[in-house]
Structure 1
Amino acid sequence: MLSGCINKRVESDANAIIEKKVDSLLALMTLDEKIGQMSQVRHFDDITEDEIATKFIGSVIHTQGPAPGKDAKGWQAKFTQLQKKALSTRLGIPLLFGVDAVHGQNTFEGATIFPHNIGLGATRDEELVEKVSKITALEAQATGFNWIFSPCVAIPYNEKWGRVYEAFSESTELTQKMGVAAVKGIQAELPDGRTVLATAKHFIGDGATDFGVEGGNTTISMQEVNTRLLPPYRDALKAGVGSIMVSFNTLSGMPMHANKTLITDTLKTAMGFDGIVISDWKGYSRFGKNEVINAGVDMIMAVDGDLDDFQEGLKQGIEKDSVSIDRINDAVKRILRQKFRLGLFKNPFPDSTLIKSIGSPEHRDIARQAVRESLVLLKNENKALPIDKKTKKIVVVGEHANNTGLQSGGWTVDWQGLTRNYSGATSILDGIKSIAEGEVVYDKDATGNYTDADIAIIVVGESPYAEFFGDIGDGSGTYKLTLSPEHQKYIKTYASKGIKTVVVLISGRPLVVTDQIKQSDAFVAAWLPGSEGDGIAQVLFGEYNFTGKLPHSWPRSVENFSRRFGPNFWDKSIKPLYEYGYGLSY
């Protein structure tokens, strides 16, 4: 009891000291320096190195495009170089370096890649999610970053949305728990040099757009926003989340980036958020320019040619009194506050000793555990699972079985993911071969005619995608709510031979696979497992039991998706094939 009171007093004293430092620094700043702090740019194309200093840039983002260096040492060197430019300015304010590390430090090839959030939601394991997040923070620090744009705490309303896998669950309650665990893991003790600033995103309604359109219109009531969408943010704030990213969608016709009622009145004032509100990509030019600042956005992703337009436009807005200096001061105080909380003024440079931790065996062990716990067994008949290690002949079918890029989904090395194997990752096929004691043959496209196989493990699923590229829409695009005809054929081919058939589905969302489940002896929802494909094999062969439970209700038919919000748990008129929370074990 006494120690708790002492800790609170120490925290209060530390915050008071930071506030004095923030106020003192703000009083010294020119308008150009303040606007510079509100600017986030890429380390390539958007700016020259010298302009980090001359335009007083506050943050650098790394995203799709040229890598900062050839290896982690090179990444750190690049960011150190840019940091030195920022520190060379009159006031020496350090940079924040941000990255979309949404399932591990997924922009760096060779990092540990964890299951996407939908899989973590299936684990129901808060302690594990906190461990995963700590490792993500550590490997992000090891590559030079101090700010992560994660966790996503959206509540998906429709599986047609291309970002379903970035969210933990259709359940608000489960999302609250997983979101808090992620924030705790990412941030921990901020100034210790081994954690980073976390970001809850995307505020708000991004997963609840009509028909699941990325950046579309969200027409739900404010009551539903309050009861279903806001609770994960409230809990993330209590856990101390350092930043909030605003969403692309409109809410009842108003762009969220320009929604002062929700950003300033609700998030900042009513909920008491004192951190950074950051725009999403090109948020200034896309959603109303200075209206975005007036709504309460503190930092702008001024990318793809937006930097001068933002800095000059905001300065003109202040000169013409369409933006108040108080609004600018509020934004800059929030940015400086987090830089002090991170300890960047004392330790602005990355720690080279952390590099050895990237993709370490210890980190991969935790990722493998996450894979095992994320697997949901939907069907198991005819003693198909677990597979006896001594089985004489096993045929493994499908390109997803032998391709770590395909098994990992979007936001893996590249923004839209990979269709090749990447460094440090283990495929599902490799995992099977490492455990099975009998013969294992690989039949990529089900043309091998292995009629003498004792069992077929058929790995099928979606190709990688990210953001709007993964939207399904009317079904005329690349991605469907069903398996491709080729993947349906893989299952039918082996099932029709009378061979015991185990299907492993790799997907970022529940798909309509009702017929394929009927054809198979066992069916596993494996989501997007990341770099440790052998975790799947460990469970298939019974080294570990299935423990995962569905984070989403599972659709029965394509017709379920004709509605605006899709087949989700609050629409009682739709009976799912499997209810939320379903999952078998041995």
Structure 2
Amino acid sequence: MRFGFIVGLLLILVGCSSFTGKKESEEIAVICQWGEQKFDLCQYDSYAQMVEGLLTEMTLDEKVGQMTQSIWHNNVSPEIIRDRRIGSIIHTEGPTPGPDAMDWINKFNEFQSRALETRLGIPLLIAVDAVHGQNTFEGAVIFPHNIGMAATRNMSLIEQAGYITAIEAAGTGFNWTFSPCIAMPQHEHWGRVYEGFTEDRDLTTQAVIASIAGHQGASLSNRNTIAATAKHFIADGATDGGVEGGNAIMSEQEMRETYLPPYAAAVDHGIAAIMVGFNSYNSVNMHQHTHLVTDVLKGELGFNGVVITDWNGGLRFGEPHTAINAGVDIAMQPANHDEFMGKLKASVLDGTVPMSRIDDAVRRILTLKFKLGLFSDPFAKEEFAQRIGSDEHRAVARQAVRESLVLLKSDNNALPLDPSDSIAVVGAHGHNTGLQSGGWSIHWQGQTESYRGATSIFEAINKVGSNVEYAEYGCYEGMAAEKAVVVVGENPYAEGFGDTDELWLSQAHKTLISRCKELGKQVIVVLISGRVLLIKEDLDISDAFVAAWLPGSEGDGVADFLFGVDGFKPVGKSPYAWPKEFSDIPIAADAEHALFKYGYGLQDY
């Protein structure tokens, strides 16, 4: 395994070192050589001049189209994109273009071709929520969710994960991803805890810098980059009660000292886009928060990229002019783009939205498209399709998994496992890659079935051990295994569907643990969860306890951890404090009464 990881690491480092990109003058020369321009861009000497030239030429309908993003399915054809002059599309939950990467590439190239048939031939931005790998494509590498990546404390791995995600997203036709999420979740109740890296400001800041470097490199014009998006601006993880889309109540000082620094770092490191949150800040929804979006983000921080809404954000919180005047540049309108465009146009014509605001938005959008090289190289990067799910990519994800696991307890020589041990892998989560990956894995809400190209925890353990059985329904009388690896945890969820007060294992999962113990087995619990849970009772009766978070497709990384493959020793540190009792929730990182404090993790078995 060590050799495979080294090969993968060298490949990634070589790839990262190629992030030199083209100089603007070189890219302009390529644009001028490209024979399909509808508008003479070669009369200009810089991107800025080209953008202003296009702005002067564009009609209001064309500008509004550029500010609109629609979903590619739901009866939205390539011809509709062309005829309505829509500037970007998104792939999300729903039908896929097909089982193979070339099906995706061909579908999105068809949309791109129709966009290029418009009067000015402005190319499309094509976006996806690739939040832990290209997680919408079955067969891609799916990394641990951000909560696990932060547990590694390994910024190099976070950068490599971003790089691999960029390659595999580009290899399925995309040039833009809506990640990384840099929420700093403060409430265990929130259904998006796992999307954020950690509750800690400084670790979040380090992680976003590394993620941007991986996704975007030194230049967006390089073929192996895609545009990244920091989300959700701002304080989405600090809503009262941990409610998705709720109200974050705090002083401006707290906001500036705690929640703004990761965004400032993202801006300083060239993040292409920032998505505003569903949440409100002191009762003003972020889609309408002119002070924070325009005055602070674009003004004080100097963000010159694109601000985009979240799902249906151009209409969900009021008339389109409220979001656009607040500083939003693109509205994500999944199947109601005509309504949004019509209302926004009317607001411009009646003076509610000044043309200067429209021009600022379109200027930012066109600038991003130039920086991405889309005016000379608009189509999908077919050469990356063959690298999706490659051994080299999986080796890096496997390393991320084993470094992300946090050892909370290790007694009675239960760990590391020995290949000669008689072992039972217990519970459905132990042999189901859908369950071990969580939400945003193949489907928006995840899935409860295994998916192509992934390795379950049982499969991984069975590769190493010589006497391994799978016991889905628990330990039983007469079971020969002396050690039980009991894999339990949450079922997949995403966004508000994960908001809950039931922050503990189900009774069925508790019984899996207690029954194995009653039968005299050494019990090693592997907890699959998108957040910290109330585990004290389960911890007390276990011989060893491992927080595995949501490890993704590479179950081999879990086996590496449990067996100490190649001399591996645990390195993961918890990105959150753990509560002892329900009354502890929400628990602060430095709480003295915590079951485990922020940063806890045994470093030996």
Q: TM-score range by the shorter chain?
A: over 0.9
What are the residue-to-residue correspondences of 1:284-299 with 2, within 5 Å?
284-289=314-319, 290-299=321-330
Whole-angstrom distance in 2 between the partners of 1:556 and 1:486: 21
Q: Which residue of 2 aligns with 1:533?
A: 555
Secondary structure, counterpart of 2:90 in structure 1: strand
What are the residue-to-residue correspondences of 1:202-213 with 2, within 5 Å?
202-213=232-243
Which of 80, 85, 107 is 2:109 aligned to? 80
Secondary structure, counterpart of 1:482 in structure 2: coil
TM-score for the superposition, normalised by structure 1: 0.94
Which of 130, 143, 159 is 2:188 aligned to? 159
| Residue 95 (1) aligns with residue 124 (2) | yes
Contact 2:477/2:519 (CA < 8 Å) preserved in 1?
no
Residues 12, 254 of structure 1: CA spacing in aligned structure 2 closer, same or farther, 3 A cutoff?
A: farther
| Residue 40 (1) aligns with residue 35 (2) | no
What are the residue-to-residue correspondences of 1:361-440 with 2, within 5 Å?
361-391=391-421, 393-437=422-466, 439-440=467-468
Whole-angstrom distance in 1 between the partners of 2:508 and 2:372: 50
Which of 112, 116, 129 is 2:158 aligned to? 129
Whole-angstrom distance in 2 between the partners of 1:58 and 1:448: 59
Whole-angstrom distance in 2 between the partners of 1:408 and 1:576: 27
Secondary structure, counterpart of 2:303 in structure 1: coil
Whole-angstrom distance in 2 between the partners of 1:262 and 1:450: 64
Farther off after superposition, 17-26 or 43-52: 43-52
Whole-angstrom distance in 1 between the partners of 2:520 and 2:155: 41
Deviation of residue 14 (structure 1)?
Answer: 8.3
Whole-angstrom distance in 1 between the partners of 2:478 and 2:88: 56
Contact 2:99/2:138 (CA < 8 Å) preserved in 1?
no
Deviation of residue 53 (structure 1)?
Answer: 1.2
Whole-angstrom distance in 1 between the partners of 2:303 and 2:215: 18
Whole-angstrom distance in 2 between the partners of 1:13 and 1:294: 36
Deviation of residue 336 (structure 1)?
Answer: 0.2
Which of 550, 562, 571 is 2:574 aligned to? 550
Contact 1:41/1:301 (CA < 8 Å) preserved in 2?
yes
Whole-angstrom distance in 2 between the partners of 1:337 and 1:427: 43
Q: Which residue of 2 aligns with 1:500?
A: 522
| Residue 522 (1) aligns with residue 544 (2) | yes
Secondary structure, counterpart of 1:88 in structure 2: coil
Whole-angstrom distance in 2 between the partners of 1:466 and 1:339: 30
Deviation of residue 451 (structure 1)?
Answer: 4.4
Which of 339, 343, 346 is 1:316 aligned to? 346
Letter in 1 for 2:598: Y
Runs of 4+ in 1 over 3 A off after TM superposition: 7-16
Deviation of residue 298 (structure 1)?
Answer: 0.2
1:352-396 CA distance string (max 9 Å, x none)? 2211100000000000000010000000011111111111x2111
Q: Which residue of 1 aligns with 2:600?
A: 582
Secondary structure, counterpart of 1:308 in structure 2: helix
Aligned length: 565
What are the residue-to-residue correspondences of 1:450-465 with 2, within 5 Å?
450-465=478-493
Which of 46, 51, 65 is 1:17 aligned to? 46
Deviation of residue 11 (structure 1)?
Answer: 7.1
Whole-angstrom distance in 2 between the partners of 1:97 and 1:221: 37
Whole-angstrom distance in 2 between the partners of 1:31 and 1:535: 53
Letter in 1 for 2:603: S
Deviation of residue 445 (structure 1)?
Answer: 1.4
Q: Which residue of 1 aligns with 2:11?
A: none
Q: Which residue of 1 aligns with 2:33?
A: none
Q: Which residue of 2 aligns with 1:243?
A: 273
TM-score for the superposition, normalised by structure 2: 0.91
Whole-angstrom distance in 2 between the partners of 1:142 and 1:527: 28
Whole-angstrom distance in 1 between the partners of 2:75 and 2:177: 20
Whole-angstrom distance in 2 between the partners of 1:80 and 1:451: 56
| Gaps in structure 2 of 5+ consecutive residues | 1-19, 29-44
Residues 67, 447 of structure 1: CA spacing in aligned structure 2 closer, same or farther, 3 A cutoff?
A: same
Deviation of residue 46 (structure 1)?
Answer: 5.5
Q: Which residue of 2 aligns with 1:441?
A: 469
Deviation of residue 68 (structure 1)?
Answer: 2.0
Contact 1:406/1:420 (CA < 8 Å) preserved in 2?
yes
| Gaps in structure 1 of 5+ consecutive residues | 1-6
1:302-338 CA distance string (max 9 Å, x none)? 123x211111111110111110000000000000000
Residues 244, 445 of structure 1: CA spacing in aligned structure 2 closer, same or farther, 3 A cutoff?
A: same
Farther off after superposition, 446-455 or 575-584: 446-455
Which of 249, 252, 255 is 1:219 aligned to? 249
Whole-angstrom distance in 2 between the partners of 1:14 and 1:444: 57
Secondary structure, counterpart of 1:190 in structure 2: coil
